[in-house]
Amino acid sequence: MTGTPHDPESAVIAARGPSGSSDPETDEIRDLARSAGYRIAGEITQTRTEDPALCLGSGKVDELARLLERTDAGVVVFDNRLGPYQTYNLGTRLPDGVNIVDRFRLILDIFGQRAQTRTAQLQVELAELRYELPRVEAKVSLAKRDERPGFMGLGEYDESREQDIKNRISRIREELAQIEEEEEKRREQRRESGFDLVALAGYTNAGKSTLLRQLARDLTIDENENQHPDLDATAESEDRLFTTLGTTTRRVDMDRRDVLITDTVGFISELPHWLVESFKSTLDAVYRADLVLLVVDVTEPIEEIREKLITCHDTLYERNEAPIVTVLNKIDCVDEDEWKRKMNALSALAPNPITVSAVEGTGTDGLLDRIDRELPPFEHERLVLPMTDDTMSLVSWIHDNARVNDVTYGEQVIIDFEARPSVVEQSRSKAGTLTIPAE
């Protein structure tokens, strides 16, 4: 087909819902497409069972082709998962030069645009290769079956591409495993230095990064001594999906505790298992935290909030080890009746939530109290220390890592304090190494 070249930044949305359902919602896929940088030129939707060859029905595909011609859009974004054969078949029915992007390809493109750190880039590449592998396998088998080398612009079809992908996947996995190990060591070091580790989780655009900045406002920003290349310096917020891809950690100095809060990538529904898996190194910040704050945008309709909460719980379910506190955010945008009504309706999924406005700072004191209560309780300890050359450095270590109630100095030093169990344990073992000087 000829005509003006199709505009590569202009996209038509296509969405198929299961037969018998109401017309598919396209708000989220539109947001995703806009986040990827597309202008939306139009949309077609259909409810029917999946057509194995085309996803949509044949007549609908003709309609889509006409819409693409009319709008000159260079891209069609499907809110469905397309198999490799469907993508190929659609390609033969749509105007030449139109790029076919499914929901996962789109999410991968967004991730690819945002990935700045080494870990994020490796994870995106891993996800892309895992997306591509079955497609290459399909091309190879199609090419063999049809004896049509050059199929779909693959060039000489070539099984070595398949092997290259597999090799690259295993090399990336090794590198990520090493990063995960280093990160785990870092978390242990931080715990040993007396920090509790809190992580922000939640659907994309819920307000996690905004909340992190609000909680850490006017307080020491964690400088990330021995700066790790994976840690971004800032936690940006924007009204678009997947603003944050890496992790940002900041220090929140609470009354009794030192807490590090980590902000990270948001969740989204229908992510295939392999995509979540590919981001494991980043999500470990959530899975291995001492407490998870699950941030929810309370301004959305209740059904949407419910679905998003279910997505978040599903994503957390298999690996998460920490207790979860739900934080209903953006209460500045809804009146009290509304958020109370939503809170009640959601009580089974989000028992006993905290309400905040991350933008205005409302409710953050209550949130900090709650964080304190949910983290492992402090233990009380009273140590009687011999007076040695090293005693004062232990006393000052305890001052740094615990809440000291009382210290008395005499021939011995008696120190009474409360601290995290691991700090108490360490102080005991340090005390055990203090040796009384020879007379």
Ligand X SMILES: Nc1nc2c(ncn2[C@@H]2O[C@H](COP(=O)(O)OP(=O)(O)OP(=O)(O)O)[C@@H](O)[C@H]2O)c(=O)[nH]1
Judged by the rule CB under 6 A, the positions of this chain that interact with ligand X are 202, 204-210, 237-239, 241-244, 266, 329-330, 332-333, 357-359
Among 244, 278, 282, 320, binds Mg ion (CB under 5 A): 244
Three-state secondary-structure class, residue 216: coil
Residue ranges for the known binding site for GTP are 202-209, 263-266, 329-332
Return the residues of window 119-138 that contact Mg ion according to CB under 5 A: none
User: For the chain, how many residues are written?
Assistant: 439
35 binds Mg ion (CB under 5 A): no
Binding mask 174-213 for Mg ion (x = CB under 5 A): -----------------------------------x----
Q: How far is CA 167 from CA 123, 154, 159, 161, 164, in A?
A: 15, 19, 13, 10, 5
- Window of 8-16, 180-188, 244-252, 405-413 that interacts with Mg ion by CB under 5 A: 244-252
Of 95 and 266, which has the nearer Cβ to ligand X? 266
Compare residues 338 and 379 and give the one whose CB is closer to ligand X.
338
Which residue's C-beta sits nearest to ligand X? 266
Are the CB atoms for 291 and 322 separated by under 8 Å? yes
Binds Mg ion (CB under 5 A): choice among 243, 281, 364, 427: 243
Q: Which residues are annotated as a binding site for Mg(2+)?
A: 209, 244
Q: How far is the CB of 280 from ligand X (least distance, A)?
A: 17
Helix (H, G, I), strand (E, B) or coil at 349: coil
Binder of residue 207, out of ligand X, Mg ion, none (CB less than 5 to 8 A by kind): ligand X
In angstroms, the CA 305 to CA 289 distance is 24
Shortest distance (Å) from residue 245 CB to Mg ion: 9
Q: Compute the distance between CA of residue 404 and CA of residue 424 in angstroms, rounded to an integer.
A: 12
Cα 409 from chain centroid (whole Å):
50
For residues 200 and 270, give the distance between their C-alpha atoms in angstroms, rounded to a whole number: 20
Binding-site partner at residue 206 among ligand X, Mg ion, none, CB < 5 to 8 Å by type: ligand X
DSSP secondary structure code for residue 151 in this structure: G
User: Quick one: what does residue 194 bind among ligand X, Mg ion, none, with the CB cut-off 5 to 8 Å set by partner type?
Assistant: none
Report yes or no: 419 and 378 within 8 Å, Cβ to Cβ: yes
Contacts 24+ apart (CB under 8 A), 177-182: 179/118, 179/119, 179/122, 179/230, 179/281, 180/280, 180/281, 180/284, 182/228
**Closest distance to ligand X from the beta carbon of 238 (Å):** 5
Shortest Å, Cβ 244 to Mg ion: 3
C-alpha to C-alpha distance for 94 and 66, rounded to whole angstroms: 8
User: Smallest distance, Å, CB 267 to ligand X?
Assistant: 8
Of residues 326 and 426, the one with the C-beta less far from ligand X: 326
CB 180 within 8 A of CB 226: no
Owner of token pair 């205005």 = 360
- Structure token pair of residue 185: 């060591």
Nearer to Mg ion, 44 or 275 (CB): 275
Minimum CB separation of residue 266 from Mg ion in Å reads 6
Binding site for Mg ion (CB under 5 A): 209, 243-244
